[in-house]
Amino acid sequence: MKSHAVVFGVANNDCYPEVLLNSIPVPDLVTNTNDMQVVMQMLIDRVNMFDKTNVGVMSIACNTLHILLPKLQKLTNIPFVSMIDVVVGDVIKKGYKKVGLLASPTTIKTRLYQQALQAQDVRVGIPTREQIIDLGNIIQNIISGKSNQKLPLIEIANDLVKSSKVEAIILGCTELPLVFPRRFRVPVLNSIDILASKLVNYYYKKEEL
């Protein structure tokens, strides 16, 4: 809230946006898509629920679940703010020509970020096959409350910087910033922070989506 006051001049309670939050215990899609239909139906139910409210926009605070976003958007006239799109926009704004991607195995395998970035002529470095498996384990461990995942994650990131010569690293999974250092040898793009910033700027500055 302090940042809202400083950046947007918020002074009173009624200056803050109303946020409707729905935390959904969906089955895990981090490493595979076996439960895709179950997850899809759960999200459809929530979209239908929000469709009855007066919300201006919707967003999904999970990178991996964006594989379902095109289908979900067809169900409602309320616009979704895509985390993938806003991160790609941030990459373009900052002028990076090659970035590294740390994300869930499903996000990497479905090429959510790779396709969007390559469409903007940005090259993408990804970890090795073995490291992608390791990323899945790291993410699962973070979800289960194991906090000793920082060193193996940094090791993968360092290898990516060295092997692919990337200019920045995208943390394309919302669990990873919980253990990844804010300061690294190259700039770090935190997908959830970038999404939150876009939503706040949309509310206060009426930025286009």
What residue ranges define each of the domains in the chain, with the CATH number in brackets?
2-82 (no CATH), 84-192 (3.40.50.1860)
CA nearest to 169, candidates 199, 125, 104: 125
Mean pLDDT throughout 28-40? 95
Q: Which two tokens stand for residue 193?
A: 């922070």
Q: Are the C-beta atoms of residues 104 and 139 closer than 8 Å to each other?
A: yes
pLDDT tens, position by position, 52-73: 998 999 999 999 999 999 999 9
Q: Is the pLDDT of residue 9 over 80?
A: no
Q: What is the mean pLDDT of the chain?
A: 94
Q: Are the C-beta atoms of residues 189 and 182 closer than 8 Å to each other?
A: no
pLDDT tens, position by position, 78-109: 999 999 999 999 999 999 999 999 999 999 99
CA nearest to 58, candidates 206, 199, 173: 199
Q: Where are the beta strands (DSSP E) in the chain?
A: 58-59, 80-81, 98-103, 123-125, 168-172, 188-190
Q: Are the C-beta atoms of residues 72 and 39 closer than 8 Å to each other?
A: no
pLDDT tens, position by position, 127-171: 999 999 999 999 999 999 987 899 999 999 999 999 999 999 999
